[in-house]
Amino acid sequence: MVQSALDGYNTCIFAYGHTGSGKTYTMEGPGIPNSDMDLPIEEQSTKDGKGMIPRAVEQIWMSAEQLKEYHDCEGDMKPPASCLLFQVRTPQQVYELLARASHNRSVGFTNMNERSSRSHSVFQLRLTGLNSFTTETVSGLPLHCNPAKNGHDPPNADFAVLRLIDLAGSERLNSSGVTGQRLKETQHINKSLTHLGDVIAALANKDAHVLYRKFKLTYLLQNSLGGNSKTLMFVNISPRLNDLNETISSLRFATKVNACEIGTAKKQTKM
């Protein structure tokens, strides 16, 4: 997938599953600990134990942006205030950015996970490169930090973006034991994940109109789901018997996604 991004394709890797099933571990590995932010990711785990994000960073360095979708609100399509863009020139700078983002990510205690992510994390890598034969430059551009007024990408936006996404985990309300603000957060997360399933079902059915814009999560993933991108999904499940219902739900979602044909990816560069 990283090589496809370097070749000029938009690519997307995301982890889906209920809370506590290992999504963040899949994407980040055992690194980015909350207790020691000074320890670089590459020193926190072996090569085999690293997550998808550190593995990708090892191969390339680029501009990177971290989006944190907290309380994904229905119909709210404003550019997220938490979208930050950083220019980085070494993998270590990306690791430091990841550690900061992980430290700032909203988490909360529930009966199912004592450190449950209360937000979806979207880490976008804008690829910038130089063709050594033609001396032409190819660069990445963030898709949704500064969208065109009509909501579409600008006409000269020939770019490749690698998205690495750690979705917040779904939780059954009667099992989570949350109340008040945490209850509202759980409801928002479940709604956005349910709508993600609805969008994928609409794509599988080849519906003429797909409601990407109903939630920010699917709006941000529009280019990844709509046929112009190469997309890989990890489905995380738990071996615990108490999580059987959530595991079945996740596997059904995986079956739905596997049946979805989104078309052929197109190169986004002119190199």
Q: Which residues are annotated as a binding site for ATP?
A: 17-24
CA–CA gap between residue 123 and residue 137 (Å, rounded): 23
Q: Both tokens of residue 21?
A: 């099933």
CA–CA gap between residue 29 and residue 7 (Å, rounded): 26
Among 105, 116, 239, CA closest to 172: 116
Q: No. of H helices and E strands in the chain? A: 9, 10
Give the amino acid at 20. G
Binding residue positions: 17-24
CA–CA gap between residue 96 and residue 47 (Å, rounded): 18
Rg of the chain (C-alpha set): 18
CB 116, CB 108: distance < 8 Å: yes
